A and B are shown apart, each in its own frame.
Chain A
């Protein structure tokens, strides 16, 4: 005691009182929950401890690198691009009414974004740490019946020696629809702890994509909390290329009848990176359906893990839950662990789950080679086909191409 306290006091003069109060109560909560959360399966095999040490002990530069040599052109035409750099969101475009960039001033009116409340997910290590560091938030709130045509592209610019905590709050209002892609560019020597809250009101639809580029000597935590009301349809696709320690935590709640969620992730850490994938789905209403499809491609000395849990309570009727995790190990030193769990307490649920891990199939390689295709190309084909099976399900063709292009630039046999 008390490096943590010091951490808060260090820059408290920069903030209004209410933020300092919020930071303090988050810190208090953090001290309370941390020891028991550390034992949680979520953090098994991750380097959370190391990250926490760095978090409170390491000096991060407050003044981040300048934007001068960064090209602020989105490579997705016609999208509305919002950037995040040095702890703040900004855009060069006119901001439409359904988007709010919340700096201190506006945040005060929306303090509940940081509220700890009595929601357990808000009392997790990433959320509490995010509360302590965050100084800005992005809020997207569609109007009722609004169908946002433009793709929203949120780009997290590279950090150097930074400790940043982006906070995103999305509300998809009744009968509206929107498509969002978030992209974390390569950082170095940094901690990025990203929290995303999404609420989908009745009969809304959302396509949400996230691309985490390779992170160097950095920790990247991505925390997604989704709540869906009745007749909603959400499609999530994540691409994660790994960080020194990378964790994605997804908690998806199906809170209304006929709510459907499909959550797919391709994680492909290489070298010494890791990618830990965690998804928990709660079927809290009848006739809700979920489909979880995670694939790992683990190369070199990298580590991957999948932890998936689907919970369906006893009284639920007519639900369906599908969960699949397949992993490809590309080297003898690569490691994977997979834990798929279905907690289903009734017999009115259509469900299936499977998990497989292995190296490239020898018989498939042989088959390709007997058709004249050389070893490297054959391996390439098999890896690509493994990946394509997942990416071919991406709904938006443009984003499918975009994601495939990023993938193609990021693996070699």
Chain B
């Protein structure tokens, strides 16, 4: 087991407000971590800071990914090195087809690693198989990125992108929210297919529902921009029953 992500004493500002306040977290290969916390506690802020969003500024502390100081890497380098962020609110890009987008993304990564472009046929075979797994119709792939997709389709499309890009660390920001039970199962099967000894996942969620399908190794409770308690799946179940109150106002 090797170290994939290590966050030390992290503070992140949005505008003039400090949103992440002294966060510590270590994730090793093969592990699945869940972060649970109330709305507005800073979960998405953490995710975007790891991905490198320019509006989310690291004030102090350090994020290390596979030995690299992340703040020294551009957004696309982070991605090319294997960091994937599944968006809480996936972005629509009309006019750019899902297929063209995925192809560009895959080839950008291959180029970064000095590899040749993926052949069109290999790409299409892979895409067909994975989109089937994510229950995304072929006809959707020629549409604009997330254009006219329902909430559930957008989330499944995020997982499809993850499967296509084969990252090392996958951060999924509330991929489960707004999903019906069938979509949730599809998403969970995608995430489970991704899990391996070499990869790691950080699953941000609001409810414990998803964790019935993806069993995490660790569950962290997030509050006011920091982890206030860590446990296992039982902690998630307790939260579901008792809410966050008993932890935040003991």
Contacts and interface: CB of A to CB of B under 8 A. Distances in A.
A293 to B, nearest CB: 13
A381 B93 CA distance: 9
Interface in B75-110: 75-76, 78-80, 84-85, 87, 90-91, 93-96, 101, 104-105, 108-109
Interface in A373-413: 373-375, 377, 381-382, 384-389, 392
A300 to B, nearest CB: 23
Contacts of A362: 54
Interface in A162-176: none
B93 A373 contact: no
Nearest to A367: B91
A372 B112 contact: yes
Contacts of B165: 371-372
Contact of B91 (A363, A375, A381, A384): A363
Contact of B108 (A373, A386, A388): A373
B91 A369 contact: no
Contacts of A377: 104, 108
Contacts of A374: 74, 76, 108
B95 A388 contact: yes
A356 to B, nearest CB: 13
B53 A371 contact: no
B91 A364 contact: yes
A169 B156 CA distance: 55
Interface in B56-90: 74-76, 78-80, 84-85, 87, 90
A387 to B, nearest CB: 8
A382 B104 contact: no
A371 B95 contact: no
A375 to B, nearest CB: 8
Contacts of B74: 369, 374-375
A394 to B, nearest CB: 14
Given A372-B105, A373-B105, A381 B96 contact: yes
Nearest to A369: B75
Residue in A375, A377, A384, A388 whose Cβ sees the most chain B Cβ within 10 Å: A388
Contacts of A371: 79, 101, 104-105, 108, 161, 165
A381 B104 contact: yes
A370 interface: yes
B22 interface: no
A369 B93 contact: no
Given A367-B91, A372-B108, A385 B144 contact: yes
Given A381-B104, A385-B144, A370 B79 contact: yes
